[in-house]
């Protein structure tokens, strides 16, 4: 392997190419690619007609709609409040700022199941927040709204952590010149800062969205899991598996994987754009 | 340490296999273990029973017995055993699920049901209605479940044993109510399932949906699960409604011969199942709201809690579980016809 | 470059009132969505008193779940540590065709739903899976046993270390290694004496995140575990079982251990970031 690598290219000074690439490819193949390809094999066993029939089942379509819809809504909420939080963290000095900054990453560190039962306890009609909302007739836990709440929790750090460094880099001079040209503060933000933030914001949004689409642990405790209402696609996969309709589970998984690939591709494109923006002197 | 050794044991077996080594004389396993793969509402009962059995086994043999439990919808659990879940004994919601293991894998010997008394059902139960306090929707009998505006909670008959008892009980009532008109019975069942907003995979999931999430007006529930929900989550919130007729539910138990042979645990597993029929086993079953097959061993106070219900059996009404499964729950059966939204 | 409000001219900073509003809004959002759930875990865990809490945590099944979680995490982190070093070495120190595709593939597990991460191993190793019958015939258990849980965890946490190290090693270039090579150092010497010290904080950072996710993984593990109490239940699964048994105080007690672990992770993360490790570009989710 190492010899093969030398052929055609100038000899490498640093050794270990064959070993490390070999380990990387073998590991990636065994742990990721071969197992993932099983989804295609299993779903492929259905044939096109069988696959299409499962994909077109109303329950499948609805579960996918719930997953993608709730993830998009939660990512949108996070885009607004995540940017606000990043702004506050970058621009303002206040006591406890470092703690708040560290706390933003809580959703990365807190197991999703813990978040799930905790949110369910909070938003249930007898919970701290649910108790306040119940008299207003607002039900969060065990409704699609609950899914949104869980996904906001899960997705928040993605937006904050992508926007924060870019915001820190934006030079005050740009804003100052905008102000000098007679722009109001709000205009300055919308016309000057926001365009500069756009690629980072879109990256954060897409990451939060991608994570939300596949999220399971935090959602199942707080969603009602009612078919055609608040059943998410990953849960439907589990249910199909438990019904031993493995092929149907694989078919839904294949649809979700296709979406994941598309999002990954989109993310790469956005990041290339991002680099062009930020990288430009 | 012991626990770690146990968790690591299966991993060890791979390492040992790869290295071609025998794990051999490992004194750490002086503890005898069993895996009991059970269905949902038996959690509390087997927790108590396993402790009693361990004490009994210790007194009898001096050996420490530890029973591991796995719970879930009965059909799902049976499929897990078929798929390789390493159960020594199965204690499932109905005989057909054990038949399925015997048929599909041979892990359980044919004729398993004759190996233990009372068709291998050491305790029985039935299906009752759990409604919200005061019964605001006025649900009295099976017919009320089909009324518009009544939300019915039941698990999925494809994965849950309790749900299959629910369907058969409802069918038995409908057959009587419509004097055997099958089309009307189907129409009735279709109307009931149109009122079902959520199908959980197991009985416990359904109870949580009804009790904790506040969804639905009536939960079709195992009698023991209904009692338990009231005890755990408040008598002020729920009450039990006993329908005019219900079904004699016989949860069955069996030794998984192939797995027990592999583990060398047959003797322990057989003793475990036999102990279910012992005075102590029967007393504990009644304590946990299962109707014991030998009521003389139960506390009279526990027995007094069971309401009188007219019960039909699967044998006399549906010609046994194989026939019932084929007719109602197989792919394309009655259930698939009346509940096309899968 | 960070600018505090006071150094900016009035034209480019909000008025005092607007600033207070934005700050309050941001903090309120954070409190509502992050702080309150965290507080609720501890409040619920202690709602029945310390004795119930201690009993729930010391219960044999809980202890078994903790041990299994530690075992699985140790294996998964070790595997992904080796992988992460190999992958970052090959990607950062050499150029070869298809490199960006390789990096994308390393990121792939982040985009896959945890449920699918479990499903794929059922398809491979379940009794009706590709290798299932052979494994069964040879008495090897994967699904419904510890190896399946380890595999699912390895899959889910695969990118963490590699993703942290690749940009770091790329930024450091290969100058140090080339110098060491010309001085006659062997490959392993270069790795241990030059590269590893250069990336140690980043490596620790990746391991920290990998560890946190491995301990907390729920969806993937839930699919491949047989849910056997004391045997194949990790801590998050044990939390779910207790929750389903109406044993809420105990469920939250075990959950609070995981929450404490999360807080510890955040604290260590802050320390490591102060040493220059951490997100160079995107977040290390």
Query: How many beta carbons lie within 10 A of that of residue C136, not counting itself?
Result: 17
Does C16 reach chain A within 8 Å, measured CB to CB?
no
CB contact under 8 Å between A113 and C32, yes or no, is no
What subunits touch chain C, counting only 3 or more CB pairs under 8 A? A, B
Strand ranges across the sheet with B218-222: B152-153, B218-222, B127-132, B238-241
Name the residue among A38, A100, A117 with its Cβ closest to that of C252. A117
For residue C276, name the pLDDT band (cuts at 50, 70, 90).
confident
User: A229 contacts in B (CB within 8 Å)?
Assistant: 197
Model pTM above 0.90:
no
A partners (3+ CB pairs within 8 A) are B, C
| Whether the predicted pLDDT of C226 surpasses 90 | no
Whole-angstrom distance, CA of residue A97 vs CA of residue A102:
9
Taking the domains of chain C in order of start, what are their residue ranges? 1-45, 48-281
**Looking at residue B30, what is its pLDDT?**
56
Residues of C with Cβ-Cβ distance to B8 under 8 angstroms: 71, 146
pLDDT value of residue A6: 45
Whether chain C has a CB inside 8 Å of the CB on B280: the answer is no
pLDDT value of residue B11: 45
A142/B215 touch (CB, cutoff 8 Å), yes or no: yes
Number of H helices, E strands in chain B: 16, 12
pLDDT the model gives residue A1? 40
pLDDT for B340 equals: 66
Q: For helices C146-157 and C114-125, what crossing angle results, to 10°?
A: 140
Residues forming beta bridges with residue B135, ordered by sequence position: none
- C47 shares contact with chain A (CB less than 8 Å): no
CB of A132 within 8 Å of any CB in chain C? no
Q: C76 to each of B16, C81, C149, how far by Cα in Å?
A: 20, 8, 10
Mean pLDDT of chain A: 88
Residue A11's pLDDT is what? 54
pLDDT by position in tens, chain B (length 342) = 343 444 444 444 444 333 333 333 333 445 789 999 999 889 889 999 999 999 999 999 999 999 999 988 888 888 888 877 889 999 999 999 999 899 888 899 999 999 999 999 999 999 999 999 999 999 999 999 999 999 999 998 888 888 999 999 999 999 999 999 999 999 999 999 999 887 887 888 888 888 877 889 999 999 999 998 888 877 888 999 999 999 999 999 999 999 999 889 999 999 999 999 999 999 999 999 999 999 999 999 999 999 999 999 999 999 999 999 999 998 889 998 888 654
Range name among B228-242, C11-25, C118-132, C137-151 with the lowest pLDDT average: C11-25
Q: Give chain C positions within 8 Å (CB) of B37.
A: 226
Closest by Cα among B232, C19, B261, C167 to A275 = C167
A262 found inside a domain: yes
Q: Hey, are the CB atoms on C41 and A114 less than 8 Å from each other?
A: yes
Phi, psi of B222 (to 5 degrees): -55, 140
φ, ψ dihedrals at C180, nearest 5°: -60, -40
Would you state the pLDDT for residue A228? 80
Distance from CA of B69 to the nearest CA of C (A): 5
Return the pLDDT at A173.
75
Q: Give residue for tokens 């598996």.
A: A241
Task: Provide the pLDDT for residue B28.
Answer: 40
pLDDT at residue C23 greater than cutoff 60: yes
Q: Does domain C48-281 have CATH number 1.10.3720.10?
A: yes
- CATH number of the domain that residue A211 is part of: 1.10.3720.10
In chain A, which residues have their Cβ closer than 8 Å to the Cβ of B209?
224-225
Task: Determine the pLDDT at residue B13.
Answer: 42
* B130-139 per-position pLDDT tens digit: 999 999 999 9
Q: Please indicate whether, in this complex, the C-beta atoms of C146 and B72 are within 8 angstroms of each other.
A: no
B10 to C60: CB separation less than 8 angstroms, yes or no: no
A124 assigned to some structural domain:
yes
Residue of chain B with shortest Cα separation from A140? B213
Give the up-direction half-sphere exposure of residue C39: CA atoms within 13 A in the CB hemisphere: 11
If one compares C2 and A73, the residue with the highest pLDDT of the two is A73
A-chain residues near B329 (CB < 8 A): none
- Identify whether the C-beta of residue B142 lies closer than 8 Å to the C-beta of residue B173: yes
Please check whether residue A10 lies inside any domain of the structure: no
Q: One digit per residue, pLDDT tens: chain A, 281 residues?
A: 444 444 445 456 788 899 999 999 999 999 999 999 999 999 999 999 999 999 998 889 999 999 999 999 999 999 999 999 999 999 888 999 999 999 999 999 999 999 999 999 899 888 899 889 989 988 888 889 999 999 999 999 999 999 999 998 887 777 777 788 877 777 878 888 888 899 899 999 999 999 999 999 999 988 877 778 889 999 999 888 877 788 899 999 999 999 988 988 888 888 888 777 665 43
Question: Is the Cβ of C167 closer than 8 Å to some Cβ of chain A?
Answer: no
Q: How many CB atoms lie within 10 A of CB A181?
A: 11
Q: Do A243 and B197 touch (CB under 8 A)?
A: no
ipTM of the shown complex? 0.89
CB contact under 8 Å between A14 and C41, yes or no, is: no
All residues of chain B having their beta carbon less than 8 Å from the beta carbon of residue C141 are 10, 13, 84, 86
Q: Which of C178, C171, C179, C180 is nearest to C202 (CA)?
A: C171
- Going C192 to C195 to C201 to C207, the CA torsion angle's sign is negative
Give me the number of domains chain A comprises. 1
Question: Domain range holding A64?
Answer: 50-278
Q: Give how far A242 is from chain B: nearest CA, Å.
A: 6
Mutation target among A50, A121, A146, A225 for the B interface, most CBs of B within 10 A: A225
Contacts A125 to B, Cβ<8 Å = 214
Residue B44 with chain C: CB contacts under 8 Å: 245
Which residues in chain C have their CB less than 8 angstroms from residue B101's CB? none
Nearest-Cα distance to chain B for C223, in Å, is 11
Question: Chain B within 8 Å of C143 (Cβ-Cβ)?
Answer: yes
Which chain A residue is nearest to residue C254, measuring alpha carbons?
A114
Alpha-carbon distance of C247 to A177, in angstroms, equals 61
Q: What is the dihedral of CA A138, A144, A148, A153, to 10 degrees?
A: 90
pLDDT value of residue A75: 97
């Amino acid at each position: 392997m190492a010899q093969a690598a030398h052929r055609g290219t100038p000899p490498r000074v640093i050794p270990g190419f064959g070993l490390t690439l070999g380990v990387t490819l073998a590991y990636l193949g065994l742990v990721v690619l071969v197992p993932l390809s099983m989804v295609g094999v299993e779903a492929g066993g259905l044939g096109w007609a069988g696959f299409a029939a499962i994909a077109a089942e109303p329950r499948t379509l609805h579960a996918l709609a719930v997953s993608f819809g709730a993830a998009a809504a939660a990512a949108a909420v996070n885009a607004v409040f995540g940017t606000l939080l990043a702004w506050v963290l970058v621009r303002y000095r206040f006591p406890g700022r470092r703690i708040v900054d560290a706390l933003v990453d809580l959703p990365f560190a807190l197991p999703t199941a813990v978040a799930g039962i905790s949110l369910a306890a909070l938003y249930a009609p007898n919970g701290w927040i649910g108790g306040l909302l119940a008299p207003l007739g607002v039900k969060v836990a065990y409704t699609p709204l609950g899914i949104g709440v869980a996904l906001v929790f899960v997705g928040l750090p993605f937006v904050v952590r992508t926007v924060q460094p870019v915001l820190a880099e934006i030079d005050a001079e740009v804003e100052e010149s905008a102000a000098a040209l007679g722009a109001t503060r709000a205009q300055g933000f919308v016309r000057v800062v926001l365009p500069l933030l756009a690629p980072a914001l879109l990256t954060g949004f897409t990451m939060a969205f991608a994570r939300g689409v596949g999220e399971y642990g935090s959602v199942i405790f707080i969603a009602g899991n009612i078919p055609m209402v608040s059943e998410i696609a990953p849960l439907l996969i589990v249910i199909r598996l438990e019904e031993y309709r493995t092929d149907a589970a694989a078919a839904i998984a294949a649809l979700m994987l296709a979406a994941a690939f598309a999002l990954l591709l989109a993310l790469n494109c956005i990041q290339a754009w991002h680099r062009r923006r930020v990288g430009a002197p | 340490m012991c626990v770690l050794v146990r968790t690591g044991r299966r991993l060890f077996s791979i390492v040992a296999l790869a290295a071609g080594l025998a794990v051999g004389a490992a004194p750490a396993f002086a503890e005898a273990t069993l895996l009991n793969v059970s269905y949902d509402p038996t959690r509390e009962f087997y927790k108590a029973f396993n402790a009693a059995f361990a004490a009994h086994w210790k007194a009898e043999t001096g050996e420490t017995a530890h029973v591991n439990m796995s719970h879930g919808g009965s059909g799902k659990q049976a499929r897990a055993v078929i798929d390789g879940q390493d159960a020594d004994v199965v204690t499932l919601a109905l005989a057909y699920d054990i038949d399925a293991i015997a048929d599909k894998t041979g892990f359980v010997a044919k004729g398993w049901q004759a190996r233990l008394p009372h068709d291998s059902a050491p305790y029985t139960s039935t299906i009752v209605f759990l409604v919200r306090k005061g019964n605001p929707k006025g649900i009295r009998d099976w017919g009320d479940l089909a009324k518009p505006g009544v939300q019915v909670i039941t698990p999925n008959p494809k994965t849950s044993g309790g749900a299959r008892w629910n369907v058969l009980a409802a069918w038995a009532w409908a057959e009587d109510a419509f004097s055997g008109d099958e089309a009307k019975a189907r129409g009735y069942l279709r109307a009931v399932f149109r009122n079902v907003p959520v199908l959980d995979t197991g009985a416990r999931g359904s109870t949580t949906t009804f009790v904790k999430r506040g969804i639905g007006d009536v939960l079709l529930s195992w009698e023991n699960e209904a009692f338990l929900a009231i005890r755990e989550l408040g008598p002020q919130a729920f009450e039990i409604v006993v329908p005019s007729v219900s079904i004699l539910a016989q949860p069955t138990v069996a030794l998984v011969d192939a797995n027990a042979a592999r583990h060398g645990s047959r003797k322990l597993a057989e003793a475990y199942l036999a102990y279910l029929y012992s005075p102590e086993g029967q007393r504990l079953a009644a304590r946990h709201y299962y109707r014991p097959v030998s009521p003389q061993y139960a506390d009279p106070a526990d027995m007094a809690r069971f309401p009188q219900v007219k019960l039909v059996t699967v044998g006399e009404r549906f010609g046994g579980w194989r026939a019932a499964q084929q007719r109602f729950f197989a792919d394309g059966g009655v259930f698939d016809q009346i509940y096309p939204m899968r | 470059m960070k600018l505090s409000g006071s150094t900016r001219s009035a034209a480019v900073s909000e008025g005092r009132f607007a600033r207070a509003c934005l700050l309050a809004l941001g903090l309120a959002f954070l409190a509502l969505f992050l702080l309150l759930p965290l507080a609720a875990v501890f409040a619920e865990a202690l709602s029945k008193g310390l004795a119930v809490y201690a009993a729930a945590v010391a219960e044999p099944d809980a202890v078994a779940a903790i041990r299994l979680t530690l075992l699985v995490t140790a294996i998964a982190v070790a595997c992904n540590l080796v992988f992460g070093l190999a992958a970052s070495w090959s990607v950062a120190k050499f150029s070869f065709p298809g490199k960006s595709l390789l990096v994308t593939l390393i990121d792939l597990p982040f985009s896959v739903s945890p449920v699918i991460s479990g499903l794929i191993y059922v398809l491979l190793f379940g009794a009706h899976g590709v290798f299932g019958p052979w494994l069964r015939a040879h008495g090897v258990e994967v699904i419904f046993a510890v190896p399946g849980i380890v595999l699912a965890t390895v899959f889910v946490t695969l990118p963490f270390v590699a993703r942290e190290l690749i940009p770091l090693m790329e930024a450091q270039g290969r100058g140090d290694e080339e110098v060491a090579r010309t001085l006659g150092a062997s490959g392993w010497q270069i790795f241990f004496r030059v590269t590893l010290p250069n990336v140690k904080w980043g490596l620790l950072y990746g391991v920290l995140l990998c560890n946190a996710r491995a301990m907390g993984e729920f969806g993937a593990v839930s699919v491949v575990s047989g849910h056997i109490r004391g045997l194949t239940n990790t801590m998050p699964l044990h939390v779910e079982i207790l929750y389903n048994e109406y044993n809420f105080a105990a469920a939250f007690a075990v959950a609070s251990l995981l929450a404490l672990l999360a807080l510890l992770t955040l604290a260590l993360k802050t320390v490591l970031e102060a040493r220059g490790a951490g997100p160079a570009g995107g977040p290390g989710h």
